[in-house]
Structure 1
Amino acid sequence: MPVCRSRAFRVAAWIVASLSGTGVHAAALVRQGSGATPAALQAIVDTFRADLGGANNGVGGTFPGGRREVNWDGVPDASAAPSFLAPDFFNTTSPRGIVFHTLLEDTGSAFNDFMVSASAASGTPVRFGDINPGYTSTFITFSAQRLFMPRGAHALQVQFYQPGTTNRAVVSGFGVVFSDVDGSSGGSRTEVSAFAPDGSQLVAASAPALSGGLSFVGISFNAGEKIDHVVIRAGTHALSASNDDGVGGVDVVAMDDMIYGEPHPASGCIFQDGFDCQMP
């Protein structure tokens, strides 16, 4: 759908309390914003980066602080449309400590298949135009050129690992950029939910709606609370040839940059030599 440039860039940030069955579980700093262009969204994304603190640690290694980022644009053509991306690509091939799992698959054959859109040089239509020609104009990018989505599903779980290992990890925050969010209430919301190591939900936050534009939601903690995994629900329907955005209540959404705190083992010990444990 076309970008609605008459709508103002909106940013909201506040402290929210997420309730578990026994009361307040944790306090989260939630950053939410939308913009018709990448430049209009840049400030809220940079604010979230500052919430996490430190530098972008890039690929590999383990660091006491900082963050990791995935923007899809370095994914090789062989792992992008029309081929699929391995769920653990960003913990093995490009180790940044993040692994994906599909949820609520819309089709039975879509389990753990993930898609990164094509580059212009590949000859395959960009921004998932190979799936539905209308998607090329429906979606825009925050960081050109590629976008990300599960195949045959519109929900996924994100798990964290000490980069390049099979050691499960926790993070201090997680944020994601969405493209073309149409709904902001009820079952039409695009939403990020963060969960604690014990499986309880820490907090959930929805992405502001901006049809044809970009939206961001980021959740972080600064009092020692940790995120074990994240569940993302993007739009109402999976990307498909028959799911046209805005037709019959369909809201298809794509994802761009993911930004999250440096993954650390839940024990808190990031380096171990014999009986010595170095804490972050």
Structure 2
Amino acid sequence: MSNPKSTVITASGDITRKVEMFQAALGDPLNNDEPYQQPAGRREINWDGVPTNLTDTPHFPGDFFNSFELADPPARKRGAAFFTDEGGTFEVSGDDFAHVDPSYSQEFHAFSKRKTFTVSDGNTLEVRFQAVGAPTPALVKGFGVVFSDVDKEGSARIELFGNDGLELGTLTAPRRADKQGLSFVGVVFDTPIITSARITSGEAALGPGVKDVSSGGTKDLVVMDDFIYGETRAME
């Protein structure tokens, strides 16, 4: 990141301490159960609360974590919606995608047990920040992602954008450093400035018979776990 008013935090291996540092930099409290915009704190998505009927199936809705329905629980209103360029879909897995290909049980591991996340038919997605429980575009001051099984430098990265598509920079997740295979990268700015993020998670989509580069394949396959970001601020 080139912006002098930003702090980048990265980690691989045992990432717990650095993730806690990132959470502290965004600030408390954790607002996951608050259905309206809060004056301070952060939001997190760890996928573990996704119901069974939307787990291990390539039909996870991109707006699940920012429902506009009044009847939906507060935990469904976290101010983040997901999109793909091709109109693709997403998947949350409870078995690290071993149901897609058995080899993945040895490749991927969750950080916050037990579920992980991917684009079901690609390797890129856009996160757009919105007012909590509403479609209004919003700003956050920081964003970070936990990745699983980054074998190649640069295969997992986050491109950040501000208002009017202003490019804020690119974050690259470090390569895995141990058997668990977790990596983290995130940035915190002094003020809410991020409107969206484009995430590249590996070099190819998961699929039956598609092997990771460490298992004889030709592409580095990567999945995601926790998304951590500042409280959203609605844009007027």
Q: TM-score, normalised by structure 1?
A: 0.77
The residue aligned with 1:17 is 2
- What amino acid does structure 2 have at the position aligned with 1:28? S
Alignment check: 8 A CA contact 1:28 1:203 kept: no
| Cα distance, 1:225–1:73 mapped onto 2, change above 3 Å | closer
1:152 is paired with a residue of what secondary structure?
coil
Partner of 2:196: 229
Partner of 1:66: 41
Paired with 1:133 and 1:34, the residues of 2 have a C-alpha distance of 25
Alignment check: 8 A CA contact 1:169 1:263 kept: yes
RMSD of aligned residue pairs (Cα, Å):
1.5
- Residue 203 of structure 2 contacts residue 220 of structure 2 at CA under 8 Å; is this kept in 1? yes
In the alignment, structure 1 residue 115 sits paired with structure 2 residue 68: no
Question: What's the CA shift string for 1:85-123, capped at 9, x where partnerless?
Answer: 1110000151101100124x5xxxxx33110003xxxxx
1:17 Cα offset (Å): 1.6
Where does the alignment leave 5 or more consecutive residues of structure 2 unmatched? none
Mapped to 2, the partners of 1:83 and 1:17 lie a distance apart of 37
Superposed structure 1 runs of 4+ greater than 6 Å apart: none
Is 1:130 the equivalent of 2:105? Answer: no
User: Would you say 1:95 and 2:62 are equivalent positions?
Assistant: no
Number of the residue aligned with 1:201? 167
Aligned equivalent of 1:244: 211
Q: Shift of residue 225 of structure 1?
A: 4.9
Contact 2:30–2:44 (Cα < 8 Å) also in 1: yes
Equivalent in the alignment of 2:9? 31
CA distance in 1, matches of 2:194, 2:118: 22
Cross-structure match for 1:49? 23
TM-aligned CA distance change 1:83 to 1:235, over 3 Å: closer
- Bigger RCO of structures 1 and 2 (CA < 8 A, at least 6 apart): 2
Provide the identity percentage.
Answer: 38
Q: How far apart in 2 are the matches of 1:190 and 1:70?
A: 18
Higher strand share: 1
Separation in 2, partners of 1:168, 1:228: 7
Kindly provide the amino acid, as one letter, of the partner of residue 17 in structure 1. S
TM-fit CA distance, 1:192: 0.8
Look up the SS of the partner of 1:48 in the other structure.
Answer: helix
TM-score under structure 2 length normalisation: 0.90
Deviation, 1:83, is: 4.9
Stretches of structure 1 lacking an aligned partner (at least 5 in a row): 1-15, 19-25, 106-110, 119-125, 268-280
- Give the conservation status (yes or no) of the 8 Å contact 2:88–2:121: no
